[in-house]
Amino acid sequence: MSAKPDEIIAYLGLGTNLGDRWANLRDALRLLAAAPGVRLLRVSQVYETEPWGVADQPRFLNCAAEAAVTLEPEPLLLRCQAVEQEIGRQPGPRWGPRLIDVDILLYSSRIVNLPHLEIPHPRLHLRAFALIPLAELAPSAVHPALSRSVAQLAQDAGGQDGVTPIGAVDP
C-alpha cells in the first residue's frame, strides 16, 4: 500500500511497559487504524527494550507504524493522545512507566517546532528503541533536521544491544 495524493506519510512510535504489553500495542494500533484521517500501512516487528531515561522500571515493548494521514501534525498529535487516554494512560513522570505511548517520529520531511509538539521527535536520533523499528519500515527516510537516513542514525545510536526483536503484532 502507498499514500494517496491527499495523504502524507507519518511514522509513529509506540511503547508500553505496564499491564498486558502486547494487548496495549494491539489496542493502540486498532484504535489508530479506526481513527478518521489515519490509515495504517505497515507495522514493524515488536522489540523488547531496556528503559531509557529512568532505568528502574519494567522493560518496554516498542514498535513503529507507518501511516498515511490526512491530518495536519497538531490534529494527529491529538489523535495519538486520544488513543493513549482510551487505553488508560495516566499522567506520570517523564520517561517513566506507562500503559502506552504513541509518538509522532516523522511527518513526511516536515519540521515542526511548537511548544507542545516537535517533529521529528526531539530525541529520535538518540533512541535505538525507536530508530531500530523505524529503520525496519523506512531505512532510507531522512531525518529532516540532521540530513541523515534513519538507517544511519539507527546504526550509530547507543543502546542497540538492549533492543531485541520478539515477534509481530497483529492489529
Question: Which residues are marked as active site?
Answer: 89, 98, 101, 103
- Whether 14 and 29 have beta carbons less than 8 Å apart is answered as yes
Q: Checking phi first, is residue 82 left (phi over 0); if not, alpha (psi -120 to 50) or beta?
A: alpha
Tally of CB atoms within 10 A around 156: 13
Residue 46 grid coordinates: 515488536
Sequence-ordered strand ranges (E) for the chain? 8-16, 38-43, 46-49, 60-69, 101-107, 112-114, 117-119, 142-143, 148-149, 163-167
